[in-house]
Amino acid sequence: MKQERKSRREGARDRSTVFTEEPIVGEKLDYELLDSGNGEKLERFGDIHLVRPIAHAIWKPQLSASHWKAARGHFQRATGGGGRWKWGSKRVPHSWILQVDQQRFVLKTTSFGHLGIFPEQQQQWRWITDLCESQTEEIEVLNLFAYTGGSTLAAALGGAKVCHVDAARGSVDWARENANRSGLGSHPIRWIVDDVQIFLKREIKRNRRYHGIILDPPSFGRGKKGETWKIETDLVPLLELCKSVLVDKPLFFLLSCHSPGFTPQVLTNLINDVVPNGGERAMGEMLLQGGSVQDLPTGSFARWHSDEKIEASVEEAKESE
């Protein structure tokens, strides 16, 4: 099993010649926070530099204005909400590929300023992959609000079976594309377009259980049929549902979010009601690491993992219930 997982990861690494449709931009295919300040961040995605808003970056930028002006695109918030891209003289491709460790993401400049990746999740992705990979038994992982699949790919690269849930078909299609690009096209991943609460209630009825759960809820969202998601009122009931789909001896739980006020300690207090006593806990800010400039906090995470190895598969666990 372990050998099989290892070769799956190596398989993903060896596919560098396969990607012919989009230009592979830059030699290193990587991400960098170049600077932040004046309510904005300057980032490099491959060799494409972009400026996007981030309200709390109220300090002074460290780089000169000429670095910021050289960006190929600048997303500016509109006063009534939303916003628009302002383009420089050099065109940004319709889509391009960005590599983060062994994950490959198709990036696009969307009309709401997202690109299809939250690079501050990289530390969590590494943690997920390593944890899944360290297991000798097959494990099942549930990824909620799964967006373009960064955590799904991380768990799959660690050899886990994954269930990926998001209400937006466009996000799920995008995540599937990322899985294909990362060499995980035939990996066991269930791709579900649904509201997370409705999906979990259905899973409870089906008696399905997971060894690990990941969730990165937005402040506000919409389910598949327009159901409203509000983090302040809906997160606690959702965590209760999550608890009901965890196996008796779970492996891990990871909650992250970008909502103001949801500090690492708030998230820790919330997951303490879900996970068993003991095990290892960690919490912190999610950071875009600046290298030569200041780090930029963008959200918080809290996570727990068991210090015991998983002993039985989900099927066996179900049978013993």
Ligand X SMILES: C[S@@+](CC[C@H](N)C(=O)[O-])C[C@H]1O[C@@H](n2cnc3c(N)ncnc32)[C@H](O)[C@@H]1O
Residues of the shown chain interacting with ligand X in the complex, contacts defined by CB under 6 A: 145, 147, 166-168, 171, 195-196, 216, 218-219, 221-223, 227, 229, 257-258
Q: Which two tokens stand for residue 2?
A: 């372990």
* Minimum distance from residue 23 beta carbon to ligand X (Å): 25
* Minimum distance from residue 218 beta carbon to ligand X (Å): 4
**C-beta nearest to ligand X: residue:** 221
* Minimum distance from residue 77 beta carbon to ligand X (Å): 15
The residue (of 22 and 227) whose beta carbon lies closer to ligand X is 227
* Minimum distance from residue 199 beta carbon to ligand X (Å): 8
The residue (of 247 and 286) whose beta carbon lies closer to ligand X is 286
The residue (of 215 and 275) whose beta carbon lies closer to ligand X is 215
The residue (of 101 and 227) whose beta carbon lies closer to ligand X is 227
* Minimum distance from residue 284 beta carbon to ligand X (Å): 15
The residue (of 68 and 147) whose beta carbon lies closer to ligand X is 147
Q: Which of 162, 76, 152 is nearest to 121 (CA)?
A: 152
The residue (of 275 and 286) whose beta carbon lies closer to ligand X is 286
Helix-helix angle 150-157:2-13, to 10 degrees: 130
* Minimum distance from residue 220 beta carbon to ligand X (Å): 8
**CA pseudo-torsion sign 100, 104, 106, 111:** negative
